[in-house]
Chains A and B, each alone.
Chain A
Amino acid sequence: MDTVMLSRLQFASTTIFHFIFVPLSIGLALILAIMQTMYVVKGDERYKTMTKFWGKLFLINFAVGVVTGIIQEFQFGMNWSDYSRFVGDVFGAPLAIEALAAFFLESTFIGLWIFGWDRLSKKVHLACIWLVAFGTTLSAFWILAANSFMQRPVGFEVVNGRAEMNDFFALITNGQLLVEFPHTIFSAFATGAFLIAGISAWKLLKKQDTDFFKKSFHVSIIVALLSSVLVALFGHQQAQYLVHTQPMKMAAAEGLWENSGDPAAWTVWAAIDPEKQESTKEFKIPYALSFLSYSKFSGEVVGMKQLQSEYEATYGEGNYIPPVRTTFWSFRIMVACGTLMIVLAAYGWYLSARKKLDQKHTWFYRLMVAAIFMPIVANTAGWIMTEIGRQPWTVFGLLRTEDSVSPSVTSGEVLFSLISFTTIYTILAVVLVYLFLKVIKRGPNAVVEKTEKITSDPFAKEGLHV
């Protein structure tokens, strides 16, 4: 394989892996902050136990998210040096601000939160977890500001063959960002919420600590429901935006070779043949694509063939059609998961609110355990659609992927790093799952016992005052 392909493979695999943990961290931080607020406001110790128990999982996950993020910041320069030269002026700024504004905030206050239980007042300690939650969300904003530039470049001019920033405000009010950020952030909240809800369901299935896990389920399912609905709403906004700014991505996501005709039908299923440039065995819902694209039941969506000739006129000869099957199916996987999440969260919320969470619903508990992976699959599929659907570009209309790679790095070197990163990530994943299961099996009582043991330690007092 050549350097471009290997570098793409590495970027894709490290980013997908990193982005399993990032949304979990963002979502869990928010839910922990909510739980701890309930503890501080209500003075109910059970919420403290909740914060500590779920906090354990959060910290394991957070550590993996942090360390896999270091690669993310380095590999633009390492593997995509020509890209970095071209866009650094514009793209580097949000990255630097992300580090300065968000990374410092979350890393400092997570330290204060972990070690500060006995050293800070209740309210200050509570403020720490809120600042962590705020920091993770802020971090998402800045990195998505950078990504949005790749989807829809704004606020720049090309000087001496490099993109130079000329309007910072345009960069952070990029229309793409305004739809991409809420869509991503609510999906992150949902990801954290489904993890807690799923684990709670598992424990309820096993009839362990039922009060504790019913309460946890209740808190998380509210977050899950609200965010799943909002993800879908902002997803719809994003789709409408896409039709205008990256019509080729939308057309590929629909497997739409020819123009759709008016009104446009949404393809649920199709056999796509990129060689012959046709889709067969299609199953379509009338009017639905018009609604998806324009929020009304009329309007035509332009197909890939027409767009290809338009792009050739604008950008010169070349193939501007992204891998259609991948874009098409990743979109459908995302939408299917998202829809199921809403249904499950709604039903779970209904059961929980009506106090009907009991042993009659084992099938539902099982579904909720499986649903832990649903947001993760949806996140991954969504990003695959976004990034693959943008091909052949790294920065849409400005820079191609093949021109972005580092000229001085050999394919052997990339192969070495790809194998190393994949190996270490595999180990991380195994250890993380092992530790997760361990914490879950021990249950919330392990957290409580530990606290008591310290206070009964005859040396404890001395230890704290040295």
Chain B
Amino acid sequence: MKLQCLGKQLFNSSANLPRIQLSSPMEAHLWYIIPSEVQSQSLLNQYAEILSPCEKEIVFEMRDEELRKRALLARALVRTTIARYQINSHVSPRSLKFIKNVHGKPEVDWQHCEQWRPLPLHFNISHTSSLIACGVTVDSPIGIDVEKKNRRLKHNVMSFAQRYFSKHEVQVLSAISDPQLQLQEFIKLWTLKEAYVKALGRGFSDAPFKTFTIRIRSATKGSFAGNSNFEASEIVVDSFDDSMDLTSDWKFVLMDLAGSHYAAICTKKDSSIQGIQITPTKLTVWKTIPFVHDECVSGTAAVVIISG
């Protein structure tokens, strides 16, 4: 697992978003924002300014103030993040257009750029009440999911798992006797499954959770199940209907993010690389308040890779 920290970058200019490079399909970038850290009304107004009329409508139709703020931050995060990777100065957060693919997955609409070939950027977003994240890749589909580590379920974990997870996953979970640990493993599995389905981008009805298994397996001997501190582990997905998905094409990263959340990222392997050797994703993570402050947190306590 390669991590590279580019150091702290502080920017006070509202007009600029520092440009970032993303050139390899084996790289993934993750940007996240903590809603409670954004309190300034004028900053929120700035974010509202970069939204499309349609997005503004959706955001402001929400009655609840917290939900409205969350929706606003999510759209602002997506727009500012994508804009960072554009070398062409004509692209600003506000000028970006989005469409949904045939299955409903949001994508950037590059059709409006006639004079230049844009970077084939893919993105995916996920949010909880206390953290919103946007993952970006080039030339590879991406799916991400974040969940609070201390999330409580209304239902019993095992009855939930039996209803929605695959047989193997249920077996793995039922082998964990400590209820706290069991819940944690459940949440990790959930984020991985969500990330996978979102990366596939074909809608949930195409890959119901019960039809595939995600397992975290150790790549080196000597590790034992339940101990998530082993040096090298990989996350694999097996589908019962392998004809569509070629499940060996997908790779995962699971991490403990900001001490408070589990985050899973699913991307497609570079098809030009053959062989059984797993090429780890080079992941860089930033904590951001767009237009105000960006901080690279890879290699710090804010990002603890669990697997992948």
Asked if A and B are interacting partners, one says: no
Interface residues of B (CB under 8 A from A): none
